[in-house]
Amino acid sequence: MVNAGAHRVAIFVYDGVTLLDVAGPAEVFKEANRFGADYRIVLLSPAGADVTSNLGVRIAVDGAVSSEPAFDTLLVAGSDLYPRARVPADLADAARIPAAVAGRVASICTGAFVLAAAGVLDGKRATTHWQVAHELAARYPTCRVEPDAIYVRDGTTYTSAGVTAGIDLALALVEDDHGPDLARDVARALVVYMQRAGGQSQFSAPLQGPPPRSPALRKITDLVTANPRGDHSLGELAKHLNVSTRHLTRLFHDELSTTPARYVENIRFDMARALLDQGHTATQAATLAGFPSYESMRRVFARKLSTSPAAYQRRFSTARRANAG
């Protein structure tokens, strides 16, 4: 099924824009045209001037975003600049009106900061790159940030995670417009997943966080980190400090916002991921990381990443393939 008539897509760009945020979704729409869609893509900047990407590549634009009529889809690309600094008022203003009148509006990666600064994400669910999701939530508290999502749809507003998640989002938009068969053809042509299993957590770095303030709790966390395979039951950990289990539980809650058991589990999980990345089997990883069994590790992976240890390893242990030269 292909919708009749052209679908006008505007990609909003500006100085410092991440080039892949622009090229990835544009390639999806262009490829969709090969299978019968009719996406008309234009690149627009705040004032109509050409812009320079994060890689120093000059991007020629088709005009100013304010000079164009309403688009069926407005995509706001991201930049490394604005998680580190406030979005300039003129940039937010340039995005506000076209976002309000577009049939649907979407952000790629940190483009969510531009949409949020423009007020588009007020009261809405949204996501962005896992490294800066906490900053988006802190800076725009009325936005309900979902840090593990690949992309989020809230009505006609879409936000996506890190740069390549813009491809996932664009495929979802193509599927909305033309159905799963055409979107699947595009995914196959681009050699990408139609829909990735799991969320952003599978791509994130281990959650080490800041060290505890108190020397006593630091002693316990160092002990667990140094030897995840040890007996780290609540009672044994409390014995190391000669404190009650209740007191130790309160220390973990007050300083790390977690429980001793969950902290131990997280350390073991991080070690298991590293072991899988190094090529160990799932059973070996479970044993070396200190999990009581493979099954207990599998349950943790399912809860945290929505995938199995074996599936995680296939995706992330190596970029090489057996038939590569």
The pLDDT value recorded for residue 196 is: 62
At residue 166, φ and ψ (nearest 5 deg) are: -60, -30
Q: What is the 3-state secondary structure (H, E, C) of 134-169?
A: HHHHHHCCCCEECCCCCEEEECCEEEECCCCHHHHH
The backbone torsions φ and ψ at residue 58, rounded to the nearest 5 degrees and listed phi first, read -75, 130
Residue spans of the domains in the chain: they are 7-190, 215-318
Residues labelled catalytic: 109
Whole-model pTM: value is: 0.68
Q: Residues near 137 by Cβ (< 8 Å), separated by ≥ 6?
A: 143, 145, 147
**Helices 309-316 & 294-305 angle (0-180, nearest 10):** 60
Cβ partners under 8 Å of residue 181, min gap 6:
1
The predicted pLDDT at position 212 comes to: 79
Q: What is the pLDDT of residue 314?
A: 79
CATH number attached to the domain at 215-318: 1.10.10.60
Residue with tokens 């890689």: 55
CA torsion sign, 275 to 276 to 280 to 283?
positive
Query: Is 7-190 a CATH 3.40.50.460 domain?
Result: no
- pLDDT of amino acid 80: 93
Return the pLDDT at 320: 38
CA-closest candidate to residue 148, choices 216, 231, 204:
204
pLDDT of residue 184: 85
Q: Are 161 and 125 contacting, i.e. CB atoms less than 8 angstroms apart?
A: no
Strands 7-12 and 39-45, by their bridges, are parallel
Which regions in the chain score pLDDT beneath 50? 1-3, 207, 318-325
pLDDT in tens, 72-121: 999 999 999 999 999 999 999 999 999 999 999 999 999 999 999 999 99
Quote the pLDDT of residue 98.
Answer: 94
Task: Say what the pLDDT of residue 61 is.
Answer: 97
Query: What SS3 class is residue 171?
Result: helix
The predicted pLDDT at position 3 comes to 46
- Chain-centroid distance of CA 188 in Å reads 22
CA atoms within 13 A on the CB side of 74: 30
